[in-house]
Homo-oligomer: A and B are copies of this chain.
């Protein structure tokens, strides 16, 4: 276990964070470049709200929890200046994408832009308590709650009334976000959201017969036999299960913990590619062909969130099958995704496990899943080593 702790901590501090510190800063217009080639060179200068907010969060959280590195603080603050200056429309909704200069390219159709803006500013406020960070994070959170039942607003292309579905992503992110910024929120709001999300994830989206969680269900919680209703994202289930395990620890709820571990083991088993190894990206719960052409690809975040999940499950329960999964995932993941030659991790492998796109970042990959997961993994294993927790 000591070897893993050393390896994941070293990877975070020597291979991953330095990559973003060196390559992602836009000295001219502020904010972060995320379209970075294998060697860190910028191949496109567009900026994406998800990744601006996420990088502010990562740098702030690392400063808060790992080491008060003043360069991380400075970098987080320059990201915050960029999004506070350019990020919102007149109603306070966050745009999705910008050109290098910060002019908006894509309208606020995607509520996760708002979620990651609030998450970043909330984390920054913890280490740099400027009123504006707290105020905007809180206002954004309230706006998310207001928009949550029609998150796409006027950009929603679904016809109401034919097949009204709800997605698994929003309750997930709301629970995570409310914990991330609970220092800015009324305790009753946070507790209420946590109750709700545990119910939604563990009862509504969870499918008793298969033991899995689907991405969309009807508004009343019933199963929809459609492309959206049948969609399973194993990485998403595994990420959700470690959020839920954190909540189980917070509530000292052993029953919830054990259910999470069972679902996680089932999802890993279900999502594993027996032929080439690794976890599939998208699957169909009825074994029908998914619509997503990228269904069989092996994505960085899927494997990292799975590792976090199995590390926590192992630490919290001591179950050997969780340890076995951690080791199996580690052996597959680390050697294929990590790039010691240039730093950071590849994001996209084909089914065979070969690099599909030799980028370190783009529209969807930035400074977030890799450092967050590395941090979660080594601290979880440290905890396991020092003091095994049983809920």
Contact = CB atoms under 8 A, between A and B. Distances in A.
A350 B348 contact: no
Given A44-B226, A46-B227, A227-B363, A163 B105 contact: yes
Interface string A153-167: 011011101110000
A296 interface: yes
A363 B291 contact: yes
A293 B357 contact: yes
Copy tally for this chain in the complex stands at: 2
Interface in A96-112: 96, 99, 103-107, 109
Contact of A162 (B105, B157, B289, B348): B105
Contacts of A350: 296, 350-351
How many interface residues does chain A have, given as a range? 35 or more
Interface in A288-302: 288-291, 293-297
A53 interface: no
Given A226-B44, A350-B351, A351-B350, A291 B362 contact: yes
A116 interface: no
A369 B155 CA distance: 31
A356 interface: yes
A94 interface: no
Contacts of A353: none
A357 B159 CA distance: 29
A35 to B, nearest CB: 8
A23 to B, nearest CB: 15
Contacts of A44: 226-227, 288
A199 interface: no
A342 interface: no
A134 to B, nearest CB: 28
A56 interface: no
Given A44-B227, A296-B356, A107 B291 contact: no
A353 to B, nearest CB: 13
A162 B103 contact: yes
A97 to B, nearest CB: 9
A358 interface: yes
Contacts of A295: 357
A105 to B, nearest CB: 5
B294 A294 contact: yes
A33 interface: no
A157 B109 contact: yes
A46 B225 CA distance: 10
Give the interface centre of A103, A159, A227, A358 by most chain B CB atoms within 10 Å: A159
Contacts of A357: 289-290, 293, 295
Contacts of A157: 96, 106-107, 109, 155
A391 B154 CA distance: 51
B289 A359 contact: yes
Nearest to A105: B162
Given A96-B157, A159-B106, A162-B99, A356 B46 contact: no
B109 A46 contact: no
Interface in A248-263: none
12 contacts: A43-B289, A95-B159, A96-B157, A103-B161, A104-B159, A104-B162, A107-B157, A293-B297, A293-B356, A293-B357, A296-B356, A350-B350
The 3 closest A-B pairs by CB, nearest first: A293-B294, A104-B159, A103-B162
